[in-house]
């Protein structure tokens, strides 16, 4: 069965598609691994074994009332990697999941990992180093969480368009809302962990080759806030900025993304 047990007994769901070198996909905050369907189709066809994982509280995994800190989430990733006994692994992460990848490597080592792909990550530190700016960022997040607690579906609807580009079809946008498969308490708990994380030192010591891709039209996580600082910290990083790309670049720029990922994954 495609479930494993975390160290605290939480049941975690995963699925696989394709054969070949393993790629583990870690999803955005709130989303199930179904968000990677287009990447599964393209990369499995290119000869990769694509593994999707629902973090705790998301998709078909259990929803415990605890464990939404990066340490526990990284331990959950380790439980899956160890269960599958995969090596020469490619780790592919979007947004919040970038922090899970960094914490997994710093906490469990990178012996099983061959390549890392970070798409619009929230790393290294959303609060930054300036006290005044940090207080403003924290206040913005408190306002965000209040909106989620009041009317989460309305917030999703109002923020759907900036996640895509004007050319994105309305059916694609509606389909994407169905990928949000986490409760409001889980979403807030994960968002708090993401906000509080400082991965600066861990990223400096991450020696694994990385491909970091960020859009210059990302309103959720601006490239100057996360992508550029992250690329500057990583010792072995190929940094690509997609002109006109939003936070949902895996939907809006998929052909270019797939080509860049395949080239990077194939490099020796």
pTM of model > 0.75: yes
Please tell me whether the peptide bond between 124 and the residue prior to it is cis, using omega within 30 degrees of 0.
Answer: yes
Q: What is the pLDDT of residue 268?
A: 66
Residues 6+ apart with CB under 8 A from 3: 11, 12, 13, 14
**Catalytic one of 58, 94, 214, 247:** 247
Name the average pLDDT for the chain: 95
Q: Is residue 91 exposed (0-12), middle (13-18) or buried (19+ Cβ within 10 Å)?
A: buried
pLDDT at position 55 over 80 = yes
User: Token pair of 26, please?
Assistant: 């870690």
Q: What is the pLDDT of residue 129?
A: 77
pLDDT at position 234 over 90 = yes
Cβ atoms of 218 and 144 within 8 Å: the answer is no
| Cα atoms in the 13 Å half-sphere on the side-chain side of 209 | 13
Residues 137-152, mean pLDDT to the nearest whole number? 95
Q: What is the pLDDT of residue 179?
A: 93
Q: How confident is the model at residue 39 (pLDDT cuts 50, 70, 90)?
A: very high
Residue 96: φ, ψ to 5°: -55, -35
Residues 6+ apart with CB under 8 A from 30: 58, 180, 181, 182, 186, 187, 190
The CATH code that applies to domain 3-266 is: 3.40.50.1820
Q: Distance between CA atoms of 132 and 44, rounded to whole angstroms?
A: 47
Q: Distance between CA atoms of 49 and 114, rounded to whole angstroms?
A: 14
Q: Residue 202 is inside which H or E element, if any? A: helix 200-204
Q: How confident is the model at residue 128 (pLDDT cuts 50, 70, 90)?
A: confident
Active site includes 66?
no
**Catalytic one of 54, 62, 75, 218:** 218
DSSP readout, 91-127? EEEETTHHHHHHHHHHHH-STTEEEEEEES---S-TT
User: Token pair of 7, please?
Assistant: 């160290």
DSSP-derived 3-state class of residue 229: helix
What residue segments make up the domains of the chain, in order of their start?
3-266
Model confidence pLDDT, tens digit, residues 162-217: 999 999 999 999 999 999 999 999 999 999 999 999 999 999 999 999 999 999 99
Model confidence pLDDT, tens digit, residues 235-255: 999 999 999 999 999 999 999
Q: What is the pLDDT of residue 133?
A: 83
Q: What is the pLDDT of residue 132?
A: 66
Model confidence pLDDT, tens digit, residues 106-119: 999 999 999 999 99
Q: Distance between CA atoms of 264 and 259, rounded to whole angstroms?
A: 9
Percent above pLDDT 90 for the chain: 94
**Catalytic one of 28, 95, 191, 230:** 95
Active site includes 260?
no
User: Token pair of 239, please?
Assistant: 């940094």
pLDDT at position 130 over 90 = no
Q: How confident is the model at residue 74 (pLDDT cuts 50, 70, 90)?
A: very high
pLDDT at position 1 over 70 = no
Model confidence pLDDT, tens digit, residues 77-108: 999 999 999 999 999 999 999 999 999 999 99
Active site includes 95?
yes
């Amino acid at each position: 069965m495609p479930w494993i047990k975390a160290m605290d007994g939480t049941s975690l769901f995963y699925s696989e598609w394709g054969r070949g070198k393993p790629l583990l996909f870690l999803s955005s905050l709130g989303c199930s691994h179904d968000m990677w369907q287009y990447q599964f189709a393209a990369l499995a066809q290119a000869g990769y074994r694509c593994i999707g994982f629902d973090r705790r509280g998301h998709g078909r995994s259990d929803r415990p009332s605890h464990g939404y800190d990066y340490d526990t989430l990284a331990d959950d990733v380790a439980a899956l990697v160890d269960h599958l006994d995969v090596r020469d692994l490619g780790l592919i992460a979007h947004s919040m999941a970038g922090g899970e990848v960094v914490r997994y490597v710093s906490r469990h080592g990178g012996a099983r990992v061959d390549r890392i792909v970070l798409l619009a990550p929230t790393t290294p530190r959303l609060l930054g180093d300036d006290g005044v700016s940090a207080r403003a960022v924290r206040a913005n997040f408190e306002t965000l969480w209040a909106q989620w607690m009041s009317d989460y579906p309305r917030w999703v609807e109002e923020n759907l368009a900036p996640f895509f580009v004007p050319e994105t079809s309305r059916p694609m946008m509606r389909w994407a809302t169905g990928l949000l498969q986490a409760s409001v308490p889980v979403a807030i708990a994960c968002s708090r962990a993401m906000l509080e994380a400082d991965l600066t030192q861990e990223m400096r010591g991450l020696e694994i080759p990385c491909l970091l891709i960020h859009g210059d039209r990302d309103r959720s996580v601006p490239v100057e806030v996360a992508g550029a600082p992250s690329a500057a910290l990583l010792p072995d990083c190929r940094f690509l900025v997609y002109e006109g790309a939003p936070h949902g670049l895996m939907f809006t720029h998929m052909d270019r993304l797939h080509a860049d990922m395949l080239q990077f994954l194939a490099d020796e």
